[in-house]
A = this chain, B = another copy of it.
Amino acid sequence: MIKITIIGSGNVAQHLIDAFAKSNTIEIIQVFSRSQKQIPPLLDSDKITNDWNALKEADLYIIAVSDDAIASVSSQLPFENRLVVHTSGSAPLSSLSDKNHKGVFYPLQTFTKGKPIDFKTIPFCLETQFENDYALLEKVASSISDNVYKIDSHQRKALHVAAVFVNNFTNYLYQLGNDICQENHVPFDILKPLILETAEKLLTLSPKDAQTGPAKRNDISTIEAHESFLSNENQSTIYKILTQSIQNHGKKL
């Protein structure tokens, strides 16, 4: 059994604890948590500590805390030369303290509190400071996921920015769609099958081939009708920018 310790009790930490608890090759020997109440029921309560000096020897320490706490947490670890990884898409490897072997264990997924998720499909992006730490990290990731990738810091930065486009910004477009429905007394539910199908289409088509709509086919009269329909300045600005961008996309690249 590979012994791991999880540091943190937030959303990502809890989902990881749930996932590892079901694994046959990984044993969570401890969880460091300042607040005990948030730990999932799958974990024995005597494995939880809030005392740095009570941390036992493990094969791997996974720091699952917010980006700006990584440096401080990793520097407080009372040991050296062990493998310590963070789970962040945007924090560099260098945000971890130099006294331990560094690595990244980044599950590229959005986690919702209380919503179970199939870990097997989650891509894990792994990086280690030292080549011979990689095999262990890969074994740990493969125990819960079928999608494990070796991703260096530059690639991870690219993925994190791309994830902002396809997750944060996409969700924001859903929010604008919701606002437009509310303002015009139409249930937003009507759009949900379209939203799902738009995402599912990518399993068979590239986004370029899946692109449709008035901007793509340069349908000026529909574009003008939409622009005159939108009285909200923010919606109108975004409509114009994205429409122009789709119209110019092939040319600019």
- A interface with B by C-beta (< 8 Å): 67, 90, 108-110, 112, 115, 117, 121-123, 125, 147, 149, 151, 154-155, 157-181, 183-187, 189-208, 210-216, 219, 222, 225-226, 229-230, 233-235, 237-239, 241-242, 245-246, 248-249, 252-253
Contacts and interface: CB of A to CB of B under 8 A. Distances in A.
A242 B169 contact: yes
A183 B110 CA distance: 23
B252 A193 contact: no
A172 B211 contact: yes
17 contacts: A108-B194, A109-B197, A115-B204, A123-B190, A157-B229, A161-B180, A162-B178, A165-B173, A166-B174, A168-B246, A169-B246, A171-B207, A172-B211, A175-B208, A196-B199, A237-B241, A238-B241
A203 B192 contact: yes
Contact of A168 (B147, B175, B199, B213): B213
Contacts of A195: 166-167, 170, 199, 202
A113 to B, nearest CB: 10
Contacts of A226: 160-161, 164
B173 A173 contact: yes
B170 A186 contact: no
Of residues A180, A211, A214, A239, which shows the largest number of chain B Cβ atoms within 10 Å of its Cβ?
A180
How many copies make up the complex?
2
Nearest to A226: B161
A172 B173 CA distance: 11
A177 B190 contact: no
A187 B125 CA distance: 12
A81 to B, nearest CB: 30
Contacts of A214: 90, 164, 168
Contacts of A112: 201, 204-205, 210
B166 A215 contact: no
Contacts of A117: 197
Given A149-B190, A238-B242, A171 B210 contact: yes
Contacts of A179: 253
B238 A245 contact: yes
A18 to B, nearest CB: 16
Given A108-B191, A163-B177, A155 B186 contact: yes
A224 to B, nearest CB: 11
